Amino acid sequence: MDLQKDLQEVGLSKNESAVYLSLLTIGQVTAGPIVRDTKLHRQLVYQALEQLKETGLVSVLVIRGRQHFQAASPRNLQTILDRKRDVVKNLVLELLARQVKSGDAVEARVLYGAKAFFDNLQDVVESAAKTDHLMRIIGGAKDSDFYRAIGDQYSDYVALLKRARVKKHLIAPENFSKEFKEKFAKESGNLLRTLTSGLTSPTYTRITPEMISIEIYAEEPTVIQIYNKATARGYLDHFKLLWSQSKPYRPLKTVKKSSRLSK
């Protein structure tokens, strides 16, 4: 059994999985032994420890002024997953209650884990490629949540978009847009707009003319897919309204210095 791979399936990143397994084996330690055991850069270890602490899988003790880390019981994983399923169940019911009534058939799916997260991105890209080659995205979660969830597969995602000739239009909160400005806005054909307020849900919603996917970022990535053209039209209208109210982001152009000296 590949425990590290299985932990990634339930939502931990590659580094978080390595650090958690190391702590389970070593016991209560400072960061140094974890760095040596995982062979990860110290900064990456601290980042993984911070995220594991937020999810309740690592506890921190200060002994003689130094931080000591200890893995929480693996049973906490089951508690985290159960809590997430309850959130998703209630969210699906709320979305279905608001759904536009139509004769179109409705297909809904709930996906869990890192692999399912990327599979959903592939589904949305394929849907966009079949329709108008445009993925609309409404953001509310932190941009770092998306890049943490996609991890090492970011370059694969960009390549997939390029092959399918799909562009992205994204609306994101102004204060959560640093990484998007550095990465997303540099992808060819993408457009980024920002809002100072109004995007408070910790999710990302991807929209095509035939489907919607809602990404929930918490202990593990969870995705709700809804296939229904009438519902998608409602989300497209909402996107257009927010798009008209948002501010376009334009990357600053780099000015090349002249090789000639001023006389």
Shared domain check, 231 and 106? yes
Shared domain check, 216 and 88? yes
Pick the residue with more confidence: 148 or 68?
68
According to the model, what pLDDT value does residue 7 have? 86
Which three-class secondary structure string do you get for the chain? CCHHHHHHHCCCCHHHHHHHHHHHHHCCECHHHHHHHHCCCHHHHHHHHHHHHHHCCEEEEEECCEEEEEECCCHHHHHHHHHHHHHHHHHHHHHHHHCCCCCCCCEEEEEEHHHHHHHHHHHHHHHHHHCCCEEEEEECCCHHHHHHHHHHHHHHHHHHHHHHCCEEEEEEEHHHCHHHHHCHHHCCCCEEEEECCCCCCCEEEEECCCEEEEEECCCCCEEEEEECHHHHHHHHHHHHHHHHHCEECCCCCCCCCCCCCCC
97 lies in some domain = yes
Shared domain check, 148 and 85? yes
Shared domain check, 88 and 51? no
Say whether pTM exceeds 0.85. Answer: no
Q: Which of 42, 72, 102 is the last residue of a domain?
A: 72
Residue 101 lies in domain: 80-248
**Banded pLDDT at 156 (limits 50, 70, 90):** very high
Average pLDDT of the chain is 86
Q: Which of 23, 48, 72 is the last residue of a domain?
A: 72
